[in-house]
Amino acid sequence: MEKRRTFIKKTAAFGATAIVGISNSVQASPIIDRQEVNGINIVGPKEGYTPEIGTLVSMMNWMRSTILRPVYGMSQKDLDYLHDENSNSIGAMLMHLVATERFYQQNTFEDGKHFEPGNKEDEMYDAASNLGDAGRRTFKGKELDYYLEKLEASREFSLKELAMYDDSWLEIVDTQFWGSPTNNYCKWFHVVEHESNHNGQIKYLKSRLHTS
């Protein structure tokens, strides 16, 4: 038993030394230029934002680049493809991401504003948010640029707004948000998580394009 204790202590000591060594190595690594610091694969603070908001922005940007990669080069036919009568198209799902981000813009930047019936743009967002029959009717016959422009405009607005707040804003809790206390950090992290969720669906549909 004593030998086992001694081994565990030595192993733990070695592990701690190794971690310190790795940490020091990372800290000592030279930063080549500012572009490297702000690269897509660097999750952390970003220029123009407070530290935590910048970290959130880096995750938003990384996930967006990941979800767009599979759709580049898709034709209108690809974007309109329905796997079955109850499926959502890739184009509709891209617009669903726009609508989700718009919802959180309204909720956190615009005092809880909601989509308004009768407003043409809001009705488009509503169809994208709900998908199903409304999404299938509304989002078809459109080229990839249509969706990319909507995604880019929505994200540009989000980034501009986020730059106006500091980290304490992320901690603000909405006690009435869908019945559970939720802070702004969680709301905007959901934008990232939501894209991750639909990333898998889009990739699956892409894999079925020429096999159905």
The Cα–Cα gap between 207 and 140 comes to: 20
Please identify every stretch of the chain with a pLDDT value under 70, giving residue numbers as ranges.
Answer: 1-38, 116, 118, 210-212
CATH number at residue 125: 1.20.120.450
138 and 84 fall within a common domain: yes
- In this prediction the pTM is 0.78
Q: For 31-170, where are the alpha helices, taking DSSP H only? A: 34-37, 51-68, 76-80, 90-109, 120-130, 132-138, 144-162, 167-170
Q: What is the pLDDT of residue 35?
A: 54
Q: What is the pLDDT of residue 29?
A: 39
Q: What is the pLDDT of residue 47?
A: 92
97 and 21 fall within a common domain: no
Q: What is the pLDDT of residue 23?
A: 39
Domain holding 159, by residue range, is: 34-208
158 and 135 fall within a common domain: yes
59 and 6 fall within a common domain: no
81 and 16 fall within a common domain: no
User: Per-residue b/e over 52-64, b at no fewer than 16 CB within 10 Å?
Assistant: bbbbbbbbbbbbb
Q: What is the count of structural domains for the chain?
A: 2
